[in-house]
Chain A
């Protein structure tokens, strides 16, 4: 009898220990998965983070205790690199369980507080073979917080025949330059003329000075006196140029795309640098983005601080080619550009021009006061 009791006691103890071990193990694993997700969320560049992320993604794959929606939710607040790692995990989870999660995913998509890239991914999954649902959802996404969903929604809306009022509403919502141009063209056909340059917020009025020397394409990083004066915000009327003294000249772009044609103004000068100066009057202190399109080497200083630098010549250009965050102060802000031309002789390497605008983080133009 005692022997049987002992056996039972031992068995119970073993079972309890095993249960406790499993609970502990699962809790440890869950904690470990949570830590892995946190690590992925905070990833930045470099080897160290990547190696840790590779271990984390392996652990998450084995643990199998993170749900699809948990992974999608984790994309909010993650770094851009972190979001890609988590997106990779989410895609694998979707393949395993996604088909049965339509209701949860629909709810996730409708929550505009979630990460935009995650919601766009969910939208693709839900509408992959359902064009009717795709159109229904997009009909209400023209103002969506996700730039990708908004782009799709406007694209879809543009397929219909639209009247002026509808097009004007779309123009207000559109952010992608190709869509803005397309809507303005459609409005023009209907007799409604929009000032495209103003709609984009291109800065048309500039003071230009040059040419300065860039023979051999060697002076991109040379600090010319005008750059030091730019930091101080005090410019001289005259500087020593490439071959002679040069003075400021006024230039106003009339182009719809806001392009300032330096090749024309400076008689196709090659191996040279031109500086362009303007003032932007902000209604208030605010975060903004400077957005440049330029097929030549370029630098931008905003209020004396270097914001943009690209030593690249003749490899394509477009609106918003280079986008960088800046801080505007209330009142006048000084914007100085250094624009560098090389000496390539090919017909496709003759352009010397730029277009610049100031936007909020969604790509909506911020206009200088009074424009």
Chain B
């Protein structure tokens, strides 16, 4: 009887544990913003409530601001209660920092540091710390313009490190690289496209082994790979360049389909509602329903162009930004629905994010335009000044938005 009870207790506990684990995973998954543009690269946190007014001299709704070493034009990710970002500092920005900040109070949890072994050079407005890090919830993967790739655990301890510029010496671009890595199915995928050693590679997340390497066009490219879940549940990595658009298996690097498309080389693509939206001059939509075969083109519209920011989808609308004009198009037909000029906006490099039906977009002068996304118009409901350049895409977790300025990290939330 005792044994039976013991077994019963064990199995009950196991069941409860499993349930808790699943719930915890669901909660964590909901709360985490694990890579550039967040879960599914969607840039949208539909349930989040972020203040529309923040910053300024009064630091309204600024929960905290933490100064960080050096500079960054990359973004920030959120894993659990840590906001994680990268920096580059020192002579020629050769010092590479990976920093974890307590999301509750902005205190620094840990810093890990390396020295760039590849070319650290970049345009003065950029930084060696340009790509946004990524996480699989267990480890953090930090990538830099100099093609240094480091994996650390959630406590900042080094798991593995690769100098991809040492492995492939002609990989690099002295304007600066910025493609952010993605992590999927135990593989960290990087896209390093330039005039020299131009390639994409998948590295084992456990030990950094290069599982596959794919030659890519020898042209400069700053767009990021995108994880796309096909209708049959299979996850693929889609990459774009000025010459092609292709999907690869993350585990093997096998090309699943490939098309000759002159894609944009700064913004990245996005999948939603069984469609793939690709910045390519304007915006082109492809049908993803035919798994395994090349997706067929549904529509394109050059009035939905995206010069730097990646597109995003909310409800039945797709949104793009061309310089300082925000455009809304119908998801299914590609028809332009409205355009809103963001008055007094400077250069915009940061891909926007959406909380609920409110879009937040930062200019490189730190001014944030807050736009209510309506059926017939995009109404600018507020503009906010952080007083610091922002070039990376923000992250949203819970009811807070984390913004990586060039020299500090901000948490925007109701106090």
Chain A hits for B176, CB < 8 A: 316
A278 sits at the interface (CB 8 A): no
A148 vs B208: C-alpha distance when bound (angstroms): 29
- Chain A min CB distance to B129 (Å): 16
Chain B hits for A87, CB < 8 A: 113-115
Chain A hits for B206, CB < 8 A: 54
B194 sits at the interface (CB 8 A): yes
Chain B hits for A46, CB < 8 A: 167
Residues A45 and B174 in contact, CB atoms below 8 Å apart: no
Chain A hits for B170, CB < 8 A: 310-312
A53 vs B121: C-alpha distance when bound (angstroms): 28
8 Å CB contacts to A: which residues of B87-138?
90-92, 94-95, 110-115, 117, 121-123
Chain B hits for A89, CB < 8 A: 158
Contacts A50-B207, A313-B195, A321-B174 given; indicate if A148 touches B90 (C-beta within 8 A): yes
8 Å CB contacts to A: which residues of B160-200?
160-163, 166-167, 170, 173-176, 194-196
Chain A hits for B23, CB < 8 A: none
Residues A57 and B158 in contact, CB atoms below 8 Å apart: yes
Which of A47, A95, A310, A321 interacts with B209 by CB under 8 Å?
A47
Residue of A nearest to B126 (CB): A316
B210 sits at the interface (CB 8 A): yes
Interface core residue of B158, B159, B206 (most chain A CB under 10 Å): B158
A274 vs B161: C-alpha distance when bound (angstroms): 41
- Chain B min CB distance to A190 (Å): 26
Which of B92, B114, B167, B195 interacts with A84 by CB under 8 Å?
B114
Which of B166, B210, B220 interacts with A81 by CB under 8 Å?
B166
Residue of A nearest to B114 (CB): A84
Which of B112, B113, B121, B208 interacts with A316 by CB under 8 Å?
B121
Which of A50, A80, A148, A317 interacts with B160 by CB under 8 Å?
A50
Contacts A50-B207, A88-B114 given; indicate if A57 touches B159 (C-beta within 8 A): yes
B347 sits at the interface (CB 8 A): no
Residues A316 and B175 in contact, CB atoms below 8 Å apart: yes
Interface core residue of A44, A310, A311, A316 (most chain B CB under 10 Å): A316
Chain A hits for B302, CB < 8 A: none
A54 vs B90: C-alpha distance when bound (angstroms): 27
Chain A hits for B152, CB < 8 A: 88
Residues B163 and A45 in contact, CB atoms below 8 Å apart: yes
Contacts A151-B91, A316-B121 given; indicate if A92 touches B158 (C-beta within 8 A): yes
Which of A45, A91, A95, A316 interacts with B122 by CB under 8 Å?
A316
A45 vs B117: C-alpha distance when bound (angstroms): 11
A51 sits at the interface (CB 8 A): yes
Chain B hits for A176, CB < 8 A: 91-92
Contacts A88-B158, A147-B91 given; indicate if A321 touches B121 (C-beta within 8 A): yes
Residues B117 and A81 in contact, CB atoms below 8 Å apart: yes
Residues A318 and B114 in contact, CB atoms below 8 Å apart: no
Residues A51 and B207 in contact, CB atoms below 8 Å apart: yes
B156 sits at the interface (CB 8 A): yes
Chain B hits for A95, CB < 8 A: 110, 156
B150 sits at the interface (CB 8 A): yes
Residues A88 and B91 in contact, CB atoms below 8 Å apart: no
Residue of B nearest to A88 (CB): B158
A55 vs B208: C-alpha distance when bound (angstroms): 11
A321 vs B175: C-alpha distance when bound (angstroms): 12
Chain B hits for A120, CB < 8 A: 90, 95
Residues A51 and B194 in contact, CB atoms below 8 Å apart: no
8 Å CB contacts to B: which residues of A115-131?
117, 120-121
Contacts A50-B162, A57-B160, A148-B91 given; indicate if A88 touches B112 (C-beta within 8 A): yes
Interface core residue of A47, A51, A57, A80 (most chain B CB under 10 Å): A47
A50 vs B150: C-alpha distance when bound (angstroms): 11
A86 vs B162: C-alpha distance when bound (angstroms): 13
1/0 per position for B14-32, CB-CB distance to A under 8 A? 0000000000000000000
- Chain A min CB distance to B148 (Å): 8
Contacts A151-B90, A312-B195 given; indicate if A54 touches B159 (C-beta within 8 A): yes
A103 sits at the interface (CB 8 A): no
B157 sits at the interface (CB 8 A): yes
Which of A44, A84, A92, A148 interacts with B157 by CB under 8 Å?
A92
Chain B hits for A92, CB < 8 A: 112, 156-158
8 Å CB contacts to A: which residues of B206-249?
206-210, 220
Chain A hits for B156, CB < 8 A: 91-92, 95
Residues A84 and B110 in contact, CB atoms below 8 Å apart: no
8 Å CB contacts to B: which residues of A138-174?
147-148, 151-152
A47 vs B202: C-alpha distance when bound (angstroms): 12
8 Å CB contacts to B: which residues of A297-345?
310-313, 315-318, 321
A85 sits at the interface (CB 8 A): yes
Residues A84 and B161 in contact, CB atoms below 8 Å apart: yes
A233 sits at the interface (CB 8 A): no
Chain A hits for B95, CB < 8 A: 120, 148
Residue of A nearest to B176 (CB): A316
Contacts A50-B162, A318-B121 given; indicate if A312 touches B196 (C-beta within 8 A): yes
Residues A84 and B117 in contact, CB atoms below 8 Å apart: yes
A148 vs B90: C-alpha distance when bound (angstroms): 7
Which of A44, A117, A318 interacts with B174 by CB under 8 Å?
A318
Contacts A51-B209, A148-B91, A315-B220 given; indicate if A81 touches B163 (C-beta within 8 A): yes
Residues B166 and A45 in contact, CB atoms below 8 Å apart: yes
A219 vs B122: C-alpha distance when bound (angstroms): 27
A270 sits at the interface (CB 8 A): no
A34 vs B356: C-alpha distance when bound (angstroms): 55
Residue of B nearest to A61 (CB): B157
A83 sits at the interface (CB 8 A): yes
Contacts A54-B207, A81-B166, A148-B90 given; indicate if A91 touches B160 (C-beta within 8 A): no
- Chain A min CB distance to B126 (Å): 10
8 Å CB contacts to B: which residues of A52-81?
53-55, 57-58, 61, 80-81
Residues B195 and A50 in contact, CB atoms below 8 Å apart: no
**Extra contacts besides A84-B115, A88-B152, A91-B113 (9): CB < 8 Å:** A50-B162, A57-B159, A80-B163, A85-B158, A87-B115, A91-B112, A120-B90, A148-B94, A315-B173
27 sampled A-B residue pairs with Cβ under 8 A = A45-B163, A45-B166, A47-B209, A47-B210, A53-B160, A55-B207, A58-B159, A81-B166, A84-B117, A84-B161, A85-B161, A88-B112, A88-B158, A95-B156, A117-B115, A120-B95, A121-B113, A147-B91, A148-B95, A151-B91, A152-B90, A152-B91, A176-B92, A312-B174, A315-B175, A315-B195, A316-B122
Lowest 4 A-B CB distances belong to which pairs? A88-B158, A316-B174, A45-B166, A54-B160
